[in-house]
Amino acid sequence: MSGFFDYLIPLLSNVGIFIILALGLNLINGICGQFSLGHAGFWAVGAYAAGAYGLYFAPEIPNFINLFISCLVGMITSALFGLAIGIPCLRLRGDYLAIATLGFGEIIRIVIMNTDKLGGPRGMTNIPHWTNIFWVYAWVILFIFIIVNFLKGPHGRAMISVREDEIASESMGINTFKYKTMAVVIGAAMAGVAGALFAHGQQFLHPNNFTFMWSVIILLMIILGGLGSVTGAILGAIILTILPELLRFMGTTIAEWRMVIYSLLLIALMLWRPSGILGKREINLLGLFKKGKT
Amino acid sequence: MSHPYILEADQITMKFGGLTAVNKLSLKILPGDLVGLIGPNGAGKTTAFNMLTGIYHPTEGEVRLLGENISKLRPYQITKRGVARTFQNIRLFKEMTVLENLLVAGQSTYQSGLISSILKTSQFKKNEEALRNHCLELLKIFKLEKKSQFLSKNLPYGEQRRLEIARAMATSPQLLLLDEPAAGMNPQETKELTELIRFIRNHFKMAILLIEHDMGLVMDVCDRISVLDYGELIAYGNPKEIQNNPKVIEAYLGPKEEEKDL
Ligand SMILES: Nc1ncnc2c1ncn2[C@@H]1O[C@H](COP(=O)(O)OP(=O)(O)O)[C@@H](O)[C@H]1O
Ligand SMILES: [Mg+2]
């Protein structure tokens, strides 16, 4: 029985980390309508920044405080990268962001690979183990709370209007550049926290943990759940984190066919539910998404 | 120093590569004015609107709003200074409700900070309430209040046109620019629109610049009319003068027979 929990708890931790990643990318791609292809890059930046804090800077204080500081370090570092990529790309209309984030995701891996302090190609080892499932889900709940309230307020509406029609939005007095940048920075910041939680859970980071394939998988999560839907992103993250584990139970051959199975899943989705499982709708547990009185 | 004109376009020109879409156009709009901007298809009317609202920056010339040069400002900055517009091809926020379309447009008048909106402070709630009431009142005026919770893409065409005007009005403008609001409407809808435009102008005491193909509508509501042809202003005057202006007739009906032979 305890063996089962030893297996289950890290899996559920991973689910939480991917929920944070999917929620952040959903803000950029689904809610603001900007196409980012480098989410694994922001995740990597957060993970390595947190790892470096844990290895080189952390004082002797209780673990949970160190974890909190480390999450902030990951969050701020990733947010700054988001800002640096967002500002030049988002001034213009068009798909510059997709190209830049795609490049960023690859460049950041190569930079880490060649930085000795970060472990280079050997990976970063001996990162302190501070993450536990409680803190993962504390962050998950905090981010859900922030995003849900954000979306119900004026700034969330403004961000959605950018997705709906950028020219009309700008012509209605919305500073579209500000909201696009905000989406990328917040999305990156969330990926940074996910990175920190990941780093202090795994205790080992390698650049190949953060390949382009992971950006695609996070993108798949939000497309599967329904681009723009918060509960959809959560659902997508749960399904695509648990599915490979289920496939593993079915034997190694099937597990090796994982990407093929994903592709088939995606094709099936495009045929039957082109806008994802939930579309833009929300599952209304707890009345969380109830629209205000009108 | 006071500025008699709300909006002044001073010799504005827009070039797209080799094509001069608008050439040295000048327009002056007084508070409370209802001015028409007409001309054949491709004459440069929409391009002129795009320059007035900051979507394009004029290649030459200057646009002034109450004396301030706004030629280099971004559209949202111009909207915040009191110029609102509709689009020739309807551009609603399709996946948002009718009310939300207005809330987006109205919110720069009722600003709430990012943090206070996430924490839902009492100040934020007060702001949201005021914004909501402002928008619901407009929906009533535009007879859309029963549809406030519909997704805007689900409205019939005529109501989508009306919603676009209501949304523009939610920004609390001093000047409203309407780009072919009657396009695609049947005669009954056009008649109602004519009344609506008159009503807006009288009720809100605001200036309107109207691009329209429906001559009946233009001649009916406009105080003065500017006529564009191939990017140039070819005539300016009251409806009567415009109707009898030979240059205008030529622009719309083509050159007279004798001239064609030459
Ligand atoms: N963004 C653009 N790029 C190139 N040419 C344009 C652009 N916008 C408009 N034009 C051209 O400018 C001319 C005027 O167009 P427009 O202002 O839309 O005319 P109108 O609204 O009077 O029908 C047309 O010849 C059109 O093809
Ligand atoms: Mg036009």
Q: What percent of chain B has pLDDT over 70?
A: 96
Q: Is A10 exposed, middle or buried (0-12, 13-18, 19+ CB in 10 A)?
A: middle
* Residue A147: pLDDT band with limits 50, 70, 90: very high
Binding pocket residue ranges, ligand 1, CB within 6 Å: B 16, 19, 21, 39, 41-47
Q: Is B41 exposed, middle or buried (0-12, 13-18, 19+ CB in 10 A)?
A: exposed
Give the ligand 1 atom nearest the CA of B228. Answer: 22
Nearest residue by C-alpha to atom 17 in ligand 1: B44
Best CA proximity match to A101, nearest among A220, A224, A212, A223: A212
pLDDT at B216: 84
What average pLDDT does this structure show over A42-50? 97
The C-alpha angle B80, B95, B171, rounded to 5 degrees, equals 15
- Structure tokens given for A228: 């723009």
Q: What is the mean pLDDT of chain A?
A: 90
pLDDT of B16 over the 60 cut:
yes
Amino acid at B56: Y
Tell how strand B232-237 and strand B224-229 pair up: antiparallel
What average pLDDT does this structure show over B145-166? 95
- Residue A85 · residue A101 · CB < 8 Å: yes
pLDDT of B253 over the 90 cut:
no
Please give the Cα distance from A222 to A27 (Å, whole number): 10
- At A179, give phi and psi (nearest 5°): -75, -35
Nearest residue by C-alpha to atom 6 in ligand 1: B16
If one counts every other C-beta atom within 10 angstroms of the C-beta of residue A188, the result is 33
B186-212 confidence digits (pLDDT tens) = 899 999 999 999 999 999 989 999 999
Flag the least confident range among A221-225, B68-72, B244-248, B253-257.
B253-257
pLDDT of A255 over the 90 cut:
no
Q: What percent of chain A has pLDDT over 70?
A: 95
A206-232 confidence digits (pLDDT tens) = 999 999 999 999 999 999 988 899 999
Please give the Cα distance from B237 to B241 (Å, whole number): 6
pLDDT at A290: 54
Selected for mutation to probe chain A from B49, B89, B100, B104 (highest A CB count within 10 Å) is: B104
Chain B residues in contact with A150 by the CB 8 A cut-off are 114, 117-118
- Residue B84 · residue B169 · CB < 8 Å: yes
pLDDT of B52 over the 50 cut:
yes
Domain assignment present for residue A131? The answer is yes
* Residue B57: pLDDT band with limits 50, 70, 90: very high
- Structure tokens given for A146: 């922030």
A24-41 confidence digits (pLDDT tens) = 999 999 999 999 999 999
pLDDT at B193: 92
Judged by a CB distance cut-off of 8 A, whether residue A2 touches chain B is no
- Compute the nearest-CA separation of A182 from chain B (Å): 11
What average pLDDT does this structure show over B9-36? 93
Contacts of A214 (CB under 8 A, 6+ apart): A39, A40, A43
pLDDT at B255: 63
In DSSP terms, B85 is beta-bridged to B177
The C-alpha angle A6, A8, A13, rounded to 5 degrees, equals 105
pLDDT at B261: 45
Domain assignment present for residue A181? The answer is yes
* Residue A283: pLDDT band with limits 50, 70, 90: confident
Please give the Cα distance from B148 to B154 (Å, whole number): 11
The C-alpha angle A40, A42, A45, rounded to 5 degrees, equals 110
If one counts every other C-beta atom within 10 angstroms of the C-beta of residue A242, the result is 15
Domain assignment present for residue A247? The answer is no
Flag the least confident range among A13-27, A139-153, A242-256.
A242-256
Q: Nearest chain A residue to B168 by CA: give it.
A: A172
- Compute the nearest-CA separation of B255 from chain A (Å): 38
Based on the structure, what is the number of domains in chain A? 1
Domain assignment present for residue A285? The answer is no
Domain assignment present for residue A91? The answer is yes
Domains (ranges, CATH) in chain B?
7-82+173-260 (3.40.50.300)
* Residue A256: pLDDT band with limits 50, 70, 90: confident
pLDDT at A292: 43
Q: How many CA atoms are closer than 13 Å to the CA of A244, on its beta-carbon side?
A: 15
Q: What is the largest CA-CA distance in chain A?
A: 61
Residue A133: in which H helix or E strand, if any? helix A133-152
Domain assignment present for residue A134? The answer is yes
pLDDT of B184 over the 50 cut:
yes
Flag the least confident range among A237-246, B74-83, B146-155.
A237-246
Please give the Cα distance from B235 to B112 (Å, whole number): 46
Domain assignment present for residue A99? The answer is yes
Flag the least confident range among A142-146, A175-179, B210-214.
B210-214
Q: What is the ipTM of this complex?
A: 0.92
What average pLDDT does this structure show over B220-226? 92
Judged by a CB distance cut-off of 8 A, whether residue B257 touches chain A is no
Q: What is the mean pLDDT of chain B?
A: 91
pLDDT of B260 over the 80 cut:
no
pLDDT at A1: 56
Interface subset of A 128-147, CB within 8 angstroms of B: 146
Residue B177: in which H helix or E strand, if any? strand B175-179
- Residue A147 · residue A230 · CB < 8 Å: yes
Tell me which of B12, B19, B59, B177 to substitute to probe ligand 1's pocket, judged by most ligand atoms within 8 Å of the beta carbon. Answer: B19
Flag the least confident range among A68-72, A138-142, B243-247.
B243-247
Domain assignment present for residue A262? The answer is no
- Residue A29: domain span: 12-212
Using only C-alpha atoms, chain B has a radius of gyration, in whole angstroms, of: 20
pLDDT of A293 over the 80 cut:
no
- Compute the nearest-CA separation of A153 from chain B (Å): 6
pLDDT at B136: 97
Tell me which of B14, B15, B16, B86 to substitute to probe ligand 1's pocket, judged by most ligand atoms within 8 Å of the beta carbon. Answer: B16
Listed in sequence order, the DSSP H helices in chain B are 45-52, 75-80, 98-106, 114-119, 122-141, 157-169, 187-204, 215-221, 239-243, 246-253, 257-261
pLDDT at A294: 34
In DSSP terms, B118 is beta-bridged to none
pLDDT of A187 over the 50 cut:
yes
